[in-house]
Amino acid sequence: MPVLARMKMMIEEELYPPKGTAKGSPRSILTYIGPDPGKLYPKTREFAKAVFNATDADIHEEIYDWGKGEKEKYRVRFYLLRDLDKFTYYFIRFDVKGEGTEKSGKGSVTIRPLLRTEYPQDTLWQRTIFYEMIRVFWHRLFYHNRRREYIWEGRNLLSMLQSQLRDYFKEIREEHG
């Protein structure tokens, strides 16, 4: 969860390495073509919760757009906020889209992961130069490496999530023959 403070300093880091000259922030897109694309959303959410060891309260569904009919069409955007310590959390955006029937269709899962660190700057003490000096010193000396570890751990978890999703894509195709 974000730090409760009126004023805060935020350091944001992409979990995926930068794409070089390509435009936009790095993200991974998994595309699915096959039967029953409506199953993608609940399963993505379940896998994300399991892999990142998160609860329902750590997930915020921002957009839930579902069209019913012969052909189901949906678009869901949800965020996973996983606390790592007092200052840092994973902020991962999932965009799940799908369109089709139980027999055929297509869908995609887009993941945009971020690591966020927030330092509160509310009280007088937190705004003094001495506090800032101590904070920078502590950050450089200890916390920088901790954040690097979080990034590596996050990348590992994301690759695990992606492989689980790919396996699930296969599973749905096999289920429907």
Partner 1 sequence: MGKLVVTDECLVPRRLSWLHYRGPDPIGFMKDFKKTLRFIFEVSTTRCREKKLLWDYTGDPIRFYNEWWLHKELSRFSEMKVSFRILGYVSKGKKDGNFSLEMYGEVNHTFSPSNWFTKYVWLIYNYIFYNKLRDRYSLMCRDYINNYMNWVKEHYNLKTVVTAEDRRDSFKEEVEKEAPPVDESE
Give the integer Cα–Cα distance in Å for 77 and 81.
Answer: 13
Tokens representing 74 are 């949906």
Cβ neighbours around 75 below 10 Å, total: 16
- Alpha helices by DSSP H, the chain: 40-51, 124-127, 129-138, 144-175
Q: Compute the half-sphere exposure of residue 42: CA atoms within 13 Å on the CB side of its CA.
A: 3
Is residue 102 within 8 Å of residue 35, measured between CB atoms?
Answer: yes
The stretch among 67-75, 131-139, 148-156, 168-176 that binds partner 1 (CB under 8 A) is: 67-75
Question: Site map for partner 1, 101-130, x if CB under 8 A?
Answer: ----------------------x-------
Q: Of the candidates 7, 25, 33, 61, which one interacts with partner 1 according to CB under 8 A? A: 61
Q: Of the candidates 9, 27, 28, 79, which one interacts with partner 1 according to CB under 8 A? A: 79
Tokens representing 164 are 């689980």
Q: Of the candidates 32, 34, 35, 39, which one interacts with partner 1 according to CB under 8 A? A: 39
The stretch among 71-79, 128-136, 140-148, 154-162 that binds partner 1 (CB under 8 A) is: 71-79
Shortest CB 61 distance to partner 1, Å: 6
By CB under 8 A, residue 45 contacts partner 1: yes
By CB under 8 A, residue 69 contacts partner 1: yes
Q: Of the candidates 18, 22, 63, 103, which one interacts with partner 1 according to CB under 8 A? A: 63
Q: Got the DSSP string for 70-92?
A: SSEEEEEEEEEEEE-SSSEEEEE
Beta carbon nearer to partner 1, 67 or 128: 67
Beta carbon nearer to partner 1, 104 or 123: 123
Residue 47: C-alpha distances to residues 21, 54, 68 (Å): 32, 10, 25
Note the residues at the interface with partner 1 (CB under 8 A).
1-2, 4, 38-39, 41-42, 45-46, 56-57, 60-69, 73-74, 79, 81, 91, 123
